[in-house]
Copies of this chain bind each other. A is one copy, B any other.
């Protein structure tokens, strides 16, 4: 298949960490070509000015975000912008026939009241569109994604948390009021521009802290999907932590089992069954707990399982790369599904170690 036949795609918000992952992934994807890089502060620079190590592979400039121009050059658009901006661009891109994958929070909520309550900002006028957008978690919504024109790609924490929780919720195994998600993330989740004091190496290295306790914006996103899968409203206790490393999320999930006789082996069987057709979720052997590094640079999610007969709780540990399965490669996984391609096309499957 020649380059002329490749699918032309645009990345809007290419200068950030989400953008540079997408550029890297799409450069290696056999069926697409990058046709357009959009930005704001970096317009006029080339991508190689921002990321010199990729200069031998890409020489595109960063351009203004004009939906007209984008739609003329690209059939699919990845939006990797701060929250609130996709809501302006997506409707116009869709109207011009583009498919849109949005990596912000704008199209993750079926009910925009929830979005507005947690994200503040101006009232949204695209309620219809938002209600039709598909939540881009392929392990749960593969078929809907295949039909979608607009995908709201999940947040990094929700991806790790939901993959750990879904089999429990689907099978009705846990007390819905007992879910606690203690999540830990590398600092790349905080983005590149504008730089923030607390993300300086001098501040964040050799240290550890919680943040956003009780009010992190990924809470309602997790709850929305949990509630849908459980068939009841679910509230979760979600606490994120900043870890002195670049990449990776580990979610340690606690819940009380409804049947205290459930064993670790039962649990492994249930998880393996739930994810039997999911190529990107790996259930660890008995007694093995995943390291975030295993998933680094890949689209994989590793899950470890434990049951505590003393306390009647299940503990599930899930590890992903926050910028990959938690962001860019998951969006590409969705694209593969939307285009009817093999779901694994162009997606890294093996981490380097150590």
Contacts and interface: CB of A to CB of B under 8 A. Distances in A.
Given A192-B197, A214-B315, A237-B254, A294 B53 contact: yes
Interface stretch (A1-9, A72-80, A136-144, A283-291): A283-291
A193 interface: yes
Contact of A201 (B28, B204, B296, B306): B204
Number of copies: 4
Given A195-B196, A237-B254, A288 B207 contact: no
Nearest to A54: B350
Interface of A: 17, 20-21, 24, 27-28, 51-57, 177, 180, 182, 184, 186-188, 190, 192-197, 199-211, 213-214, 235-237, 239, 241, 243-248, 250, 252, 254, 282, 284-285, 288-297, 302, 304, 306-308, 310-311, 313, 315, 317, 319, 323, 349-354
A81 to B, nearest CB: 18
A51 B210 CA distance: 17
B197 A199 contact: no
A317 B292 CA distance: 23
A57 B300 CA distance: 13
Contacts of A351: 24, 53
B244 A245 contact: yes
9 contacts: A21-B352, A55-B285, A180-B254, A193-B197, A194-B195, A207-B292, A208-B248, A208-B292, A210-B250
A240 to B, nearest CB: 10
Residue among A186, A319, A353 with the highest chain B CB neighbour number at 10 A? A353
A210 B250 CA distance: 9
Contacts of A248: 206-208
Contact of A200 (B187, B208, B291): B187
